[in-house]
Amino acid sequence: DFNSFITRTNTCGELRSAHVGQEVTLYGWIQYQRQGLFLVLRDFQGLTQIIIPQDEAHSHVKKLLSNAPVESVVRVTGIVSPRPPGQENPKMPTGDIEVKAETAEILNSCKKLPFEIKGFIKKSEALRMQYRYLDLRSFQLQYNLRLRSQIVMRMREYLCNLHGFVDVETPTLFKRTPGGAKEFLVPSREAGKFYCLPQSPQQFKQLLMVAGLDRYFQVARCYRDEGSRPDRQPEFTQIDIEMSFVDQAGIQRLIEGLLQYSWPEERGSIMTPFPSMTYKEALADYGTDKPDTRFGMKIVDVSDFLRRLDIQFVQNALSYPRGTVKAICIPQGVRYLKNKDLESLKESAKSRFNQEIVEIICRPDGRLKSLLTKFLGEKQQSQLIQVLNMQVDDVVLLAAGEHKQVCSALGSLRLESADLLEAAGLVLRDPTAFHFLWVVDFPLFLPKEENPTELESAHHPFTAPHPSDTSLLYSDPTKVRSQHYDLVLNGNEVGGGSIRIHSAEQQRFVLEKVLKEDSEVLSHLLEALEFGAPPHGGIALGLDRLISLIVDAPSIRDVIAFPKSFRGRDLMGNAPDYVTPEELEPYHIQVSWPLAEKEAKKN
C-alpha cells in the first residue's frame, strides 16, 4: 500500500476510469504546464493530468498552479473525471482520466533547473553527477533502483527463507590482504598503523564457516582503489555467499536457482542448468575467459591446413612450442564494413596485442582475395573456404603467433567486428537475450605480468587446487587447475567463486612457497584453519553489473543511487576533499604539499 501512513489518497500513477467521481488528494512534481489550462503531475509511480479551474471562484488556485515553476512540489485535491471523447491518451496508464483541481498548495517552489528532467534531453555525465538528486527523478533511474530493490528482496527470500542462509554483517575496517586489487587505507590513532577497507569479506566468510555457521550470505559493500577505470566503481555491492560441505556443482546449482527465483518477470524466463565451458575452451574458441555466446564468429584453428604450405610467417609461428594460426570469419563483412573499418581492426590488433593480421575476402566468383592467394592453388583455396566455412562477401581475419596472444587478439577483434556490423545495421546480438555461462577449470596460478618468472593467484590465494591436480601443486604449480568458477552473462563476468583451501598446511605452502607472500599477515586465518575447519566454498555476484545488464543500462552508474565519477570522485559533494593539518594531527600524518599540488593539477 503506497498510501499508508501519509495524507495522499492516491499516487499519480494509479487513477483509472473506476475512480471517476471520487475526490482525491495527490502530491507530486509539476512535469509540464500548458497556458494555465492544465498541468501534468508526476510522482514515483506515474503521471496524472490536472485540469486548472478557470472560474472566478477558483481564481487563487488558477493563479497558484499557472505561476508555479516546473518541478515545484505541489499538493492537489480534486475530482476524478473522464477525459473528453477523443482526448484520451493511450500511452499513459492514467490517460482515460483527469483530475479537476479544487484546492492546491505549493509545498516548495523550484528554482531554475540546470537541465530538464526528461529522458530524451542529452545531459553531460558531469552535470548528471553534480545534480544526482535531480537526475534520479527520471523514470528510468527510478525504475532501475526499484527493480534492484525487488531483486535483492527476492534473493533474501530465496537464501534465508527457503535455504537457511544467515545474513551476517562483516567489518568494514580490517587489514591488508595479500594479492588482489589495491585497497583503500584508513588512518588510525596509532602512529604508522592503518586499517584497510576490504575488497571483499573473503576472510570473514571463511572464518564464519570455521565458526560452524554453515551457510552465510550478505549484501556486502566492497572497496577497491583501482583509479580511473571506465565503468568501475571504487565502492560496489556484491551478493556474497559461503557454504560448508559443498562442492563446485552445489554452488552452481544454488546460484542458478537464486537467479531463476529472483529474475524479473518482465525480462522473460531463464533456463537452467546454465551451460559450462572450460577456461581452455573459452580462450581457444572466443579468445577470452568471459565469452559472449549470443553470436557465432568463433575462432577457427587453421594450423593443420596451413602447416603443409610454404608460407614463411606461418612456418615461423608454428615453429614455436605454443605456435598457432587461427582466424575469425566476419559474415557479410564486404557488404557491411568499409576499408577504414578493416584497417582500424588491424591497427587495434597491432597496437593492443602486437599482433599482425592478414585479411581474406571471398569474392562473388568464389575465389579468394588476399596476400595468401599467391601461395594457394584453386583446390587449396576451395579447401580453405571449407575449413573456414566462408560464404560470398565474408571477410576472414587471420593471425599467426603464440597461442594466447593470437586468441586474445582475435577474441577482441570478434567483439569489435560485432560492434561495427551492428552499427552498420546487421543484428548479431539479441538485446533481449540473456546467455548465462559457467567458465571452469581456470589455472590456479598465472605468471606475473611485470615479472613472468614469479606467480600470482589467478583468482585469490585461498582457492583450492583441482582434486586431480593436487600433487602438481608441489612439483609444477604452473600446471595446476583450480576449483574456481566464473559466471558470465552476455560476455560480462557477473560472479566468481571457488572451493577454498581448508588445510592450514596447504594454505601456508601456497602463500609462502608458491606466491612468496608473507604469511604472517594471514596468521589469524592460518591458525583458524588448524581448529577443525570444514571443507567450504562460495561465490560473490556483482550486483551492480548484474542489474545493469538486466535493465540494459549503458553504465553501472545508472543502477547505483550515488555513484562516483570516472575518476572516482563524488562531484555532488566534492569528495575526496582536503582536511586541515589540525584534523590530521591525531593520525600522525602530514601531507607533502608539492606532491599534493602535482596530483591536483593532474586531476
Q: DSSP 3-state assignment of 548?
A: helix
Number of H helices, E strands in the chain: 20, 22
pLDDT at 160: 98
Closest C-alpha to 274, from 487, 484, 430: 487
What are the pLDDT digits (tens) for 110-136?
999 999 987 767 788 899 999 999 999
d(CA 414, CA 53): 61
Q: Which residues are CB-neighbours of 336 under 8 A, at least 6 positions away? A: 420, 421, 424, 425, 426
Using alpha carbons, list the distances in angstroms from residue 18 to 21, 86, 96: 9, 19, 10
Question: Where does residue 219 fall: left (phi above 0), alpha (psi -120 to 50 degrees), or beta otherwise?
Answer: beta
Closest C-alpha to 388, from 288, 291, 297, 322: 297
Q: DSSP 3-state assignment of 37?
A: coil
User: ∠ CA(157), CA(163), CA(168), 5° rounding?
Assistant: 70
Q: Which residues are CB-neighbours of 442 under 8 A, at least 6 positions away? A: 279, 289, 458, 459, 481, 482, 484, 485, 486
For the residues of 300-350, what is the DSSP string, one character each?
EE-HHHHHTS--HHHHHHHTSTTEEEEEEEETTHHHH--HHHHHHHHHHHH
Using alpha carbons, list the distances in angstroms from residue 153 to 237, 261, 455, 580: 14, 11, 41, 42
Question: Where does residue 574 fall: left (phi above 0), alpha (psi -120 to 50 degrees), or beta otherwise?
Answer: left
pLDDT at 341: 96
Using alpha carbons, list the distances in angstroms from residue 327 to 284, 324, 360, 592: 11, 10, 10, 53
Closest C-alpha to 434, from 262, 292, 290, 542: 292
In order of their start, the domains of the chain are 17-108 (2.40.50.140), 142-277+435-558 (3.30.930.10), 295-424 (3.30.1360.30)
C-alpha grid cell for residue 502?
A: 581448508
pLDDT at 567: 87
H or E segment and range at residue 262 = helix 248-262
pTM here is 0.93
CB 134 within 8 A of CB 115: yes
CB 135 within 8 A of CB 125: no
Q: Which residues are CB-neighbours of 93 under 8 A, at least 6 positions away? A: 13, 16, 46
Looking only at the bridges linking them, the beta strands covering 436-440 and 484-489 are: antiparallel
pLDDT at 597: 66
Q: DSSP 3-state assignment of 26?
A: strand
CB 234 within 8 A of CB 184: yes
Helix axis angle, 339-353 to 403-423, nearest 10°: 150
pLDDT at 593: 76
H or E segment and range at residue 236 = strand 235-244
The DSSP output letter for 558 is G
Q: What's the burial of 33, exposed, middle or buried (CB within 10 Å: 0-12/13-18/19+)?
A: buried
The DSSP output letter for 285 is H
Helix axis angle, 279-286 to 403-423, nearest 10°: 60
CA atoms within 13 A on the CB side of 132: 15
As averages over each run of 10 residues, the pLDDT of the chain (603 residues) reads: 94 97 98 94 97 96 96 98 96 97 98 86 87 95 97 98 98 86 93 95 97 98 82 93 98 98 96 97 98 97 92 92 96 95 96 96 92 89 93 96 97 98 94 96 94 92 96 96 98 98 97 94 96 98 98 94 92 94 94 71 61
Q: What's the burial of 526, exposed, middle or buried (CB within 10 Å: 0-12/13-18/19+)?
A: middle
Strand ranges across the sheet with 436-440? 166-167, 215-223, 235-244, 536-542, 492-499, 484-489, 436-440, 276-278
**Residue type for position 173:** L
The DSSP output letter for 498 is E
| 3-class SS shares of the chain: helix, strand, coil, % to 5 | 35, 25, 40
Q: What's the burial of 581, exposed, middle or buried (CB within 10 Å: 0-12/13-18/19+)?
A: exposed
Q: Cβ–Cβ contacts within 10 Å for residue 290, how many?
A: 18
